[in-house]
Chains A and B, each alone.
Chain A
Amino acid sequence: MPDTAAPPVAAAPPASLTRRRLTKDSALPWITTPIVLAALVAVWEFYVVQFRVSPLIMPRPGAVWQAWVEMLQSPRAWHHTWMTVYATLTGFAYAVVIGVGLGVIIARVRWLEMTLNPFIVATQVIPKVALVPLFVLWFGFGITSKVIVAAVLAFFPILTNTAIGVKSVDEGHRDVMLSLNATRWQVFRRLELPSALPFILTGFEIGIVLAIIGAIVGEYLGGNAGLGHLLIARLNAFETADMFAVLIHMSILGFLFYFSIGALRKILVPWHASARLKV
């Protein structure tokens, strides 16, 4: 019981104690993931070979791998990749600025929240993917319509999570700032923002995945660039192995985006439980 000791109180435990256990925990997926992945590929190979599935329906893993390696060497494919990345990140950036900004405001201004809420919910319940043709009509077959679809999809979870985060600020913490005569800006900068940050990052995590979905769906329906376009083109050419390669490519991109947010979490909110919990 350290509280009963006279000051100065006994030393804190060495930091290595907790760290070692954590490394052990986080090392586990690095072993299990390749094993499970290898098993899945083996099942796939077995199934295709055993039941003589047509390569048009389901190519063998080796063929897909080869197609993907070829894709990685193709400047055209990298161009499409870049277009998708650009549409995703730009759309996500708009969603972050508008979602966080509006979220902070509606969390603090009650009447504005009441006024805007029906419309915010409306933008959420409308199946936005169904609006993609409309965006194409309005913004053309170029990158703009993809950016907008990505932004529209990513916006809502960022907004709601930000608003919830700002509203969840502990009353006791508010009392502290009140007793310290903090200004409104100080309350925002030193209390509301850091307190809401874990929530906001959750919004980012959902938002970035939706942004990439938005960009790809946008590419499905219009234009001649991006991984979505590439996938449809390969499908139409019955190049199924190539299509699977594009699919793998998209998935890896999604993983990279998602884990970037996870890394951001470890940097921005190392104090929060969510930074220690993986996946």
Chain B
Amino acid sequence: MADLAQPAIALRAIEKWYGTRDAPVHALAPTDLEVPEREFLVLLGPSGCGKTTMLRMIGGLIEPTAGELLIEGRGLWKAGQRQGEALSELGMVFQDANLFPWLTIEDNIALPLELKGWPRARRLARAHELMRLTGIAGFERRWPRELSGGMRQRAAIARALSYDPRILLMDEPFGALDAMTREAMNLELQRIWMETRKTVVLVTHSIAEAVFLADRIVLLSPRPGRVDMILPVPFPRPRAPDLQSTPEFQEIVRRLRRRLSEIS
């Protein structure tokens, strides 16, 4: 069991290079970062700043060129191989919901459990529980195409939570949604996060979304991607939509916007 002093995620001199020797791309300069348990951390930055690269490395989808990555104190990579124990603490949500169109919503949410060999009745019970949590109860037997974008993203969150990982990684999860749905989803995500007490790392390029959701914002700058600054967001929870019209909120947004325009 991990003690609370131990960070949920630790990046130690994590670095990423892409491309060939003739045309190398430095996606992420050596970076150190710790994410404490139950923190809501947002990675913010202009395109090409390496925020998605960083998230995908934490999620085990791409291997760092150098450095060490610890998930709940356990190394994620050993000799080029991903470690299953560390991986099972991670749940990923992508920009597109990436639901499988040939599975009903409940089967999509239960897919990770199916891969782990859970019997059908048990994994569907778990899927239904998560559908209530994410607010999509009633859509169990629907095909993904029958749901709106916001609904699909809720299902994707439910799928990522199905095997109860301690960490939720979200790569611009609401980037493809319209503004109104997006705001509603931000509120929903806050509620789900507060109910489940997960550690969340979320990538976005929306400043308002970052400030509304984050405990801390990591601002990344491009070429090569690196941490520009880390900004704590002090507002108490639960945060209401009205927060966004307060001067304090606006002040943080203004600071971030100014810095972003300097570094992009």
Is A bound to B?
A: yes
Interface residues of A (CB under 8 A from B): 1-9, 11-12, 170, 172-173, 175-176, 178-182, 186, 190-191, 194-195, 197, 269, 271-272
B181 touches A9 (CB 8 A): no
Nearest 6 pairs of A and B residues by beta carbon: A7-B135, A3-B150, A172-B98, A179-B92, A194-B102, A4-B184
Could you give, for residues 99-121 of chain B, a 1 whenever the CB lies within 8 Å of some chain A CB and a 0 otherwise? Answer: 01111000000011011000000
* B contact residues around A173 at 8 Å (CB): 98, 100
B101 touches A179 (CB 8 A): no
Cβ-based interface call for B50 (8 A) = no
- Measured between alpha carbons, how far is A233 from B137 in the docked complex, in Å? 66
Listed A/B pairs (16) with beta-carbon separation below 8 Å: A3-B180, A7-B134, A7-B135, A8-B138, A9-B137, A12-B138, A12-B139, A12-B142, A172-B98, A173-B100, A175-B61, A176-B100, A179-B92, A181-B82, A190-B115, A194-B100
* A contact residues around B94 at 8 Å (CB): 172, 175-176
* A contact residues around B143 at 8 Å (CB): 271
* A contact residues around B196 at 8 Å (CB): none
| B residues 124-179 touching A (CB-CB < 8 Å) | 132-139, 142-143, 145-146, 148, 150-151
- Measured between alpha carbons, how far is A6 from B184 in the docked complex, in Å? 9
B92 touches A175 (CB 8 A): yes
Cβ-based interface call for B59 (8 A) = yes
Cβ-based interface call for B87 (8 A) = yes
- Measured between alpha carbons, how far is A180 from B94 in the docked complex, in Å? 13
Q: Which of B88, B103, B181 contacts A1 (CB 8 A)?
A: B181
A3 touches B184 (CB 8 A): yes
**B225: min CB distance to chain A, Å:** 20
* With contact pairs A3-B148, A190-B114 given, residues A181 and B84 touching in the complex (Cβ less than 8 Å): yes
* B contact residues around A186 at 8 Å (CB): 115
- Measured between alpha carbons, how far is A197 from B101 in the docked complex, in Å? 12
* B contact residues around A12 at 8 Å (CB): 138-139, 142, 146
**A155: min CB distance to chain B, Å:** 26
A2 touches B92 (CB 8 A): no
* With contact pairs A4-B180, A186-B115, A191-B100 given, residues A179 and B135 touching in the complex (Cβ less than 8 Å): no
Cβ-based interface call for B211 (8 A) = no
- Measured between alpha carbons, how far is A12 from B142 in the docked complex, in Å? 9
Q: Which of A6, A9, A271 contacts B101 (CB 8 A)?
A: A271
* A contact residues around B115 at 8 Å (CB): 180-182, 186, 190
Q: Which of A9, A172, A271 contacts B136 (CB 8 A)?
A: A9
Cβ-based interface call for B185 (8 A) = yes
- Measured between alpha carbons, how far is A191 from B180 in the docked complex, in Å? 33
* A contact residues around B138 at 8 Å (CB): 8-9, 11-12
B102 touches A195 (CB 8 A): yes
Cβ-based interface call for B96 (8 A) = yes
* B contact residues around A197 at 8 Å (CB): 102
* B contact residues around A7 at 8 Å (CB): 132-137
**A175: min CB distance to chain B, Å:** 6
Cβ-based interface call for B60 (8 A) = yes
* With contact pairs A175-B61, A179-B60 given, residues A170 and B98 touching in the complex (Cβ less than 8 Å): yes
Residue from B132, B138, B185 with most neighbouring chain A CB atoms (10 Å): B138
* A contact residues around B181 at 8 Å (CB): 1, 3-4
User: From B100, which residue of chain A is reached at the shortest CB distance?
Assistant: A173
- Measured between alpha carbons, how far is A190 from B132 in the docked complex, in Å? 25
Cβ-based interface call for B201 (8 A) = no
B101 touches A272 (CB 8 A): yes
- Measured between alpha carbons, how far is A272 from B59 in the docked complex, in Å? 30
* B contact residues around A195 at 8 Å (CB): 100, 102
- Measured between alpha carbons, how far is A4 from B154 in the docked complex, in Å? 12
- Measured between alpha carbons, how far is A3 from B59 in the docked complex, in Å? 28
A3 touches B151 (CB 8 A): yes
User: From A198, which residue of chain B is reached at the shortest CB distance?
Assistant: B102
**A28: min CB distance to chain B, Å:** 24
* B contact residues around A9 at 8 Å (CB): 135-138, 151
A179 touches B90 (CB 8 A): yes
- Measured between alpha carbons, how far is A197 from B61 in the docked complex, in Å? 26
User: From B59, which residue of chain A is reached at the shortest CB distance?
Assistant: A179
* A contact residues around B180 at 8 Å (CB): 1, 3-4
* A contact residues around B90 at 8 Å (CB): 179
**A248: min CB distance to chain B, Å:** 38
